[in-house]
Amino acid sequence: MIKLIIFDLDGVYFFGGSKRFIEVLSEKYNLSKEEIIEVYKKSEKILRYKMGLISGDEFWNFALKKWNLDIPTSEILYILKTTNEFNNELHGIVKKLKDLGFMIGVGSNNFKERI
C-alpha cells in the first residue's frame, strides 16, 4: 500500500526557473546566455557546490567574477529566487492527495539558495 508520495521541487513543483534566471541575467547585465550557462550549468564549481563540497559564497563569488559583475551576491540570489514559476495544478493535486491521507514529501538535488 502506498503511504508516501515524494515530488521533486525543481522542474516539477516549480518550473522554468533556470531558463528564466539565465534570461534575466542575460538581459539585465548584458551577458550572453552561453557565458551564463558555462558557469551556472557546466562549470566544475557548480557541480562541487551542488554536492556540498564548496559553500554558496564560494560559488557565487566565482560566478560573479567569471561574469565580470561588480554587484552584491544578494542581487543574484534575489533573481534566482524570483524566477521560478509555481505549478498550481500540481499543488492542487498534492492537496487532494493529502486530504486522501497520503503523506507528502519533497526532494531536490538543487542547492540551498535555489530552494
* pLDDT reading at 39 higher than 70: yes
Cα–Cα distance for residue pair 8/84, rounded to 1 Å: 14
Q: What is the pLDDT of residue 71?
A: 96
pLDDT digits (tens, 9 = 90+) for 4-32: 999 888 888 888 888 999 999 999 999 99
How many whole angstroms from its chain centre is CA 58?
17
Task: Look up cell 563569488; give the residue.
Answer: 61
Cα–Cα distance for residue pair 104/18, rounded to 1 Å: 25
pLDDT digits (tens, 9 = 90+) for 48-94: 998 889 999 999 999 999 999 999 999 999 998 888 888 899 999 99
Q: What is the pLDDT of residue 68?
A: 97
Q: Are 82 and 24 in contact (CB under 8 A)?
A: no
Nearest-Å Rg of the Cα atoms of the chain is 17
Q: What is the pLDDT of residue 112?
A: 74
10 secondary structure, DSSP code: B
